[in-house]
Structure 1
Amino acid sequence: MKQIQMTKNPSFSSISTNKIIQMNNVSTSYDSKNFALEGINLSIDRGTNYAIVGQSGSGKSTLLKLMNGMMIPSKGTIKIDYTTPNMNNKKFKKMMHEIGYIPQSLGLVKNISVFENIMIGALPRLSKIQSLLKKFPDGEIQEAMKIIDQVGLSGKETRKAYMLSGGEKRRVAIARALMQKPTILLADEIVSELDHVTSREIMDLIAEAQKRMNLTAIMVHHDIQLALKYANRVAVIKKGQKILEIGVEGDTIVDFQTGDMNTEEIMEMYANDTEK
């Protein structure tokens, strides 16, 4: 076996991992009795688009909460770029601004403007006085205006959030997350209740941002067809367990983890979703 010798005093300042998110045998519960998720193993590459698909109540949203430290697992381990996601972990708290999280509710402040909602994403970089008095540095304002243009909201900066359409509200939520300058973007059912055309517009917007900023985008969906169109890999969650992991290469569905499913069942799952 060939051995590689290293110098005694290497000059490396840090170690980077391609697997930005790793979950090993993770289980968690809301009531200490029943598992919301059980035995989950996930490995997500940096800079990719990963989708989580499943029916309501399957545990999809819980997975995102584990990734951003809102919940901690009952069993197993989670690492986000070598760091355990936990609100009590000082190292994780310092990197929380690197995780852009868009909940199902979007989390917008209804009675303030588009611009003010987006600037919430910059708050971790501002002093308490700047935040309180809304005295934003010129550089942050310029960055916000650039993002507003990128998400297609130019001319609507002063409009109150409650006055926006469903698609526009999602654009604001995306812009606020991008204003954080994240390395990871978590989005929970961001295109639910939108029409087909608007859903594709929002997904295209996220895909463009993901490539432009080299984001790791992790999105929860109901629609497996939509997920396969945009994601490098799709995990299917059923009753708290990951039963399948697939992706698309050319005109082929690539099976990374079948579990107990056979080829016919996988194709039927995809076909049934296409008919909806």
Structure 2
Amino acid sequence: MKQIQMTQNPSFSLISTNKIIQMNDVWTSYDSKSFALEGINLSIDRGTNYAIVGQSGSGKSTLLKLMNGMMIPSKGTIKIDYVTPNMNDKKFKKMMHSIGYIPQNLGLVKNIPVIENILIGALPRLNTIQSLLKKFPEHEIKEAQRIISLVGLTGKEDRKVYMLSGGEKRRVAIARALMQKPTILLADEIVSELDHVTAREIMNLIADAQKRMNLTAIMVHHDMQLALEYANRVAVIKEGHKILEIGVEGETIVDFQTGDMNTEEIMEMYNDDSEK
């Protein structure tokens, strides 16, 4: 076999992979007595839109918390771009700004204006003095204004968040996450409690931002139809287990996990669960 010799100072950079998030046999618990997630295997391609669907209490939000380092698995391994997510780890702390996280409650500061909420996403790029005084450079303010236009909030920069509608608040939360200049966007039930028209406006906004910025978007949903409409792949979580991974190819729902279920069986199974 021919050997390839490598120079001492190779010109190539670190190995990259299409798989930006990888989970292998992940189990996790909140109380050390029962498991919120059991044996999760999950692989997400870079630059795609991935949805996690399931009923309340199924473990969907827990998956996002594992991805952004808010929780550590009881066993199994998680890699985000080859780095293990853990807020106490220096290597992960350096890359935390590249993960935009939108929690269910949005995490906005309700009594300050829209633009100030959005500029919070730029704080990791400021020096200590700038950060303490919240003194943002002019180029960061211009970037915030550009993102305000991108998410459709032009003219509302100075309006306090508590004065906004539900859909507008979600736009602010998305804008703040985009201000981080992330490579991964995690969104937990961001369209819940919205009417169908507003929900699709928000989903279109995220889909557009994902393409513009080459983001990997990972979104928790309870609406299977909406998830299938926007996501490249959909993981179905039930009682802490990943029971399906599906996607749409043409007009067919494809089962990537077991390969032995047709479209009708998949939708019927989910609809049955939704009625419980």
1-structure distance, mates of 2:34, 2:78? 20
Find the counterpart in structure 2 of residue 98 from structure 1.
98
Deviation for aligned residue 1:186: 0.1
Q: Secondary structure at the match of 1:101?
A: strand
Q: SS where residue 31 of structure 1 aligns?
A: coil
Does residue 241 (structure 1) correspond to residue 241 (structure 2)? The answer is yes
**What are the superposed Cα offsets for residues 108-147 of structure 1, whole Å, 9 maximum, x if unpaired?**
0010000000000000001222123232111101110000
Verify the 8 A CA contact 1:20 1:44 in the aligned structure 2.
yes
Alignment correspondent of 1:167: 167
**Structure 1 residue ranges, 4+ long, deviating more than 4 angstroms after superposition:** 270-275
Q: CA deviation at 1:3?
A: 6.0
DSSP 3-state at the match of 1:148: helix
Q: Which residue number corresponds to residue 150 of structure 1?
A: 150
Q: Which runs of 5+ in 2 are unaligned?
A: none
User: Contact between 1:223 and 1:273, CA under 8 Å: does it hold in 2?
Assistant: no
2:255 touches 2:261 (CA, 8 Å); kept in 1?
no
AA partner of residue 248 (structure 1): V
What does 1:57-136 align with in structure 2 at a 5 Å threshold?
57-136=57-136
- Post-superposition Cα deviations, 1:13-59, rounded to whole Å, max 9, x if no partner, equal 21111100000000000000100000000000000000000000000
Cα distance in 2 for residues equivalent to 1:115 and 1:163: 14
Unaligned runs of 5+ in 1: none
Q: What one-letter code is carried by the residue in structure 1 that aligns with 2:228?
A: L
Contact 1:60 1:237 (C-alpha < 8 Å) held by counterparts: yes
8 A Cα contact 1:188 1:219, kept in partner: yes
Q: Aligned residue for 1:268?
A: 268
Tell me, in whole angstroms, the C-alpha distance in 1 between the residues paired with 2:155 and 2:117.
Answer: 15
Structure 1 residues 274 and 36: CA distance shift in structure 2, 3 A: closer
> Closer, same or farther in 2 for the Cα pair 1:4/1:198, shift >3 Å?
farther
Secondary structure at the residue paired with 2:63? helix
Amino acid at match of 2:86: N
Cα contact 2:99–2:183 (8 A) shared by 1: yes
Return the letter of the residue paired with 1:53.
Answer: V
Partner residue in 2 for 1:199:
199
Percent identity (aligned)? 84
Q: Distance in 2 between matches of 1:4 and 1:42?
A: 35
- Tell me how far apart the structure 2 counterparts of residues 41 and 190 of structure 1 sit (CA, whole Å): 24
Amino acid at match of 1:146: R
Per-residue deviation, residues 137-190 of structure 1 (Å, max 9, x unmatched): 111011100000000000000000100000000000000000000000000000
Equivalent-residue separation in structure 1 for 2:13 and 2:103 (angstroms): 35
Q: Is the 8 A contact 1:53 1:220 kept in 2?
A: yes
Change (3 A) 1:208 1:4: farther
What SS is found at the alignment partner of 2:119? helix
Query: Contact 2:113–2:160 (CA<8 Å) still a contact in 1?
Result: yes
Q: Tell me, what secondary structure is at the counterpart of 1:35?
A: coil
2: CA distance, partners of 1:91 / 1:131: 21
In 1, Cα distance between the equivalents of 2:122 and 2:236?
Answer: 34
SS across alignment from 2:94: helix
Aligned residues between the structures:
273
Instruction: Give per-residue Cα distances to partners, 1:76-125, cap 9 Å, x unaligned.
Output: 00000000000111000010000000000000001000000000000000
